[in-house]
Amino acid sequence: MSARDPSAAPPGAEDPDGGAAAGTGDLNFVMRARRASLDALTERGFQAFGYSFVRTHTAHECAALIGEGEEGPDVAVAGRIVSWRGHGKTVFAHLGDPSGRIQLYFRKDTLGDALFGAIQHFDLGDVIGVRGPLFRTRTGEVTVRVETVELLAKALRPLPFGKEEVVDGKTVRHSAFADSEMRSRQRYADLAVHAEVRALFVARSAMIRAIRAFLDGRGYLEVETPVLQPLYGGALARPFVTHHNALDMPLFLRIADELYLKRLVVGGLERVYEIGHDFRNEGVDRTHNPEFTMLEFYQAYADYVDMMGVVEALVAAAAAAVRGALGESDPRDGAAAYDDALQEGGFPRIEWVPALSAALGVPDVLDLSDAALRAAAGKAGVASVATLSRPKLLDELFQAHVEAAIERPTFVVDYPIEISPLAKPKRGNPALTERFELFARGRELANAFSELNDPIDQRQRFEAQARLKAAGDEEAVMVDEDYLRALEYGMPPTGGVGIGLDRLFMYLAGIQHIRDAILFPTMRPE
């Protein structure tokens, strides 16, 4: 609630007296009219905020119920008033519920003077319940001939409904609620007036449910690990810092689940997964929200080749769920869930070093001197090449030359060891690691490796990171002694995968902005 928006306060909040007329001086004229309607109803003895309503059918079920007939049985439906057309002694309105909308027909001679008088004080957005028989109007629309009506929640603030018309079978909306910032801030209003936004988040939920079912079906155990961590790790990112008062110690919000999940594999939970939020204290843009939903899963006795197969099947299951939820008939533009390649699996696999070497036109990019890498990075438009470390230069070059060009789902395999501090060295080539990332449309969708389970090697990698941190790299991680202790007890060879679910959903559903994939994205206060 904003201090700068007095009208956002509850009735009487800024006026201790709280009378019906008090505290309304700052409200705009529309809201004053709503309060007047509420008062008028209350004076007539109408309950404006009901307690319950027994709905017998949804709007969608009503259409099925009447079939091809002209008359149908009595129904009780409930929802928001989304349109209202008064005609003197009759009113046509539409009621919106989760299944769709249904027309209501109010007649003065059916309702009686008192009830018909009362509904003159109904407004768009009010939540009502009505009962009456179904019929078809002369234009054929399924309609409830309302015999009784209850007001279940008076809308004291106008919802930004646009007007809808159907042109050639498609819904065209006029004067819709279009301010993307307001739609994100007031997601409740966005959802209330946009059925397609509700459908999108239903699809997101379906995708996550499908992923859980997929992993559960393969014997993975869903677990929960700490969000508040004394040391952060498992990724390279700047953390959020907080403080525990009673323990008088700093705590970090996790940037990854990885190190705790692998502790569980040490303990004999051989297949685990977690779906939860990670937090990274970095910039906000079209593809980054400070908190985001991460899936990580680990499988003992598997390597990265095994995990590629799991990822293909998991992405196929997620795509099927999104497609099922959004419907087959009218796919969103650019929604990859409708791409057959996702169902067929067998994503192409390209090797990191040869791919970059070919892009640069050199025999082996790893043989290039730092100076040559710097020159190539500068040519590719990478900023501040003079200060970047060798691993960083490699990473930047790969992003610029290879990642950005990948359109179809593709596995990139065998990353240089310098940019993969938690991955096992590649069999037969210790300069590389057994790691893959899945890319599509220039974006990373998954990151995975044969997990490093040699505690001596892992300690050396941590210490290299610690040196970077001492040299001023804010993203480098600290040595996690407890994690090393766990590895010293022995961790079976393990394949691990991380998938950002917001981005996977964006990819599958054809969403361009991460803000549109998250119900309540992080925003500045109003």
The region of 134-142, 202-210, 222-230, 311-319 touching RNA under the rule CB under 7 A is: 134-142
> Which alpha helices (H) appear in 218-338, and where do they start and end?
258-266, 304-326
Q: Is 441 in the site for RNA (CB under 7 A)?
A: no
Judged by beta carbon, residue 312 or residue 395, the one nearer RNA is 395
Judged by beta carbon, residue 40 or residue 372, the one nearer RNA is 40
Q: Are 342 and 315 in contact (CB under 8 A)?
A: yes
Judged by beta carbon, residue 236 or residue 325, the one nearer RNA is 236
Residue 351: C-alpha distances to residues 310, 401, 432 (Å): 19, 14, 10
The region of 138-146, 262-270, 303-311, 457-465 touching RNA under the rule CB under 7 A is: 138-146
Residue 486: C-alpha distances to residues 304, 464, 479 (Å): 21, 20, 13
Judged by beta carbon, residue 100 or residue 324, the one nearer RNA is 100
Q: Is 283 in the site for RNA (CB under 7 A)?
A: yes
In this structure, is the dihedral angle defined by the CA atoms of residues 413, 416, 421 and 426, taken in order, positive or negative? Answer: positive
The region of 176-184, 267-275, 359-367, 501-509 touching RNA under the rule CB under 7 A is: 176-184
Rounded to a whole number of angstroms, the minimum distance from the CB of residue 489 to RNA is: 25
CB < 8 Å & 24+ apart, contacts of 204-210: 204/505, 204/509, 204/517, 206/321, 206/322, 206/324, 206/325, 207/318, 207/321, 207/322, 207/325, 207/501, 207/504, 207/505, 207/508, 208/275, 208/293, 208/501, 209/321, 210/317, 210/318, 210/320, 210/321
3-state secondary structure 154-220: CCCCCCCCCEEEEECCEEEEECCCCCHHHHHHCHHHHHHHCHHHHHHHHHHHHHHHHHHHHHHHCCC
Contact with RNA (CB under 7 A) among 8, 64, 178, 313: 178
Residues within window 468-487 making contact with RNA, judged by CB under 7 A: 475
Q: Is 2 in the site for RNA (CB under 7 A)?
A: no
Contact with RNA (CB under 7 A) among 280, 323, 424, 503: 280
Q: Is 162 in the site for RNA (CB under 7 A)?
A: yes
Rounded to a whole number of angstroms, the minimum distance from the CB of residue 136 to RNA is: 8
Judged by beta carbon, residue 15 or residue 141, the one nearer RNA is 141
Q: Is 429 in the site for RNA (CB under 7 A)?
A: no
Judged by beta carbon, residue 56 or residue 83, the one nearer RNA is 83
3-state secondary structure 44-60: CCCCCCCCCCCCCCCHH
**Rounded to 5°, angle at Cα 424 from 420 and 430:** 85
The region of 14-22, 136-144, 317-325, 477-485 touching RNA under the rule CB under 7 A is: 136-144
Residue 130: C-alpha distances to residues 58, 70, 75, 170, 220 (Å): 12, 20, 8, 28, 47
x/- letters, 338..377, toward RNA (CB under 7 A)? ----------------------------------------
Residue 271: C-alpha distances to residues 248, 267, 312, 437, 476 (Å): 35, 11, 18, 20, 28
- Beta bridge partner(s), residue 170: 167
Contact with RNA (CB under 7 A) among 257, 296, 444, 502: 444
Contact with RNA (CB under 7 A) among 282, 454, 463, 482: 282
Structure tokens at 216: 């559960």
Residues within window 191-250 making contact with RNA, judged by CB under 7 A: 235-237
Contact with RNA (CB under 7 A) among 46, 177, 297, 304: 177
- Beta bridge partner(s), residue 437: 412, 447
SS3 of 133, please?
strand
The region of 14-22, 177-185, 320-328, 345-353 touching RNA under the rule CB under 7 A is: 177-185
The count of residues interacting with RNA (CB under 7 A) is: 72
The region of 13-21, 270-278, 334-342, 378-386 touching RNA under the rule CB under 7 A is: 378-386
x/- letters, 69..98, toward RNA (CB under 7 A)? --------------xxxxxxxx-x-x----
Structure tokens at 377: 């990075």
The region of 13-21, 216-224, 306-314, 392-400 touching RNA under the rule CB under 7 A is: 392-400
d(CA 324, CA 390): 45
Task: Specify the pairing of strand 435-440 against strand 410-413.
Answer: antiparallel
**Rounded to 5°, angle at Cα 274 from 273 and 278:** 140
Rounded to a whole number of angstroms, the minimum distance from the CB of residue 321 to RNA is: 25
Q: Is 28 in the site for RNA (CB under 7 A)?
A: yes
x/- letters, 95..124, toward RNA (CB under 7 A)? --------x-x-xxx-------------xx
x/- letters, 30..69, toward RNA (CB under 7 A)? x--x--xx--------------------------------
Residues within window 141-160 making contact with RNA, judged by CB under 7 A: 141, 143, 158, 160
d(CA 111, CA 402): 69
Contact with RNA (CB under 7 A) among 65, 176, 320, 358: 176
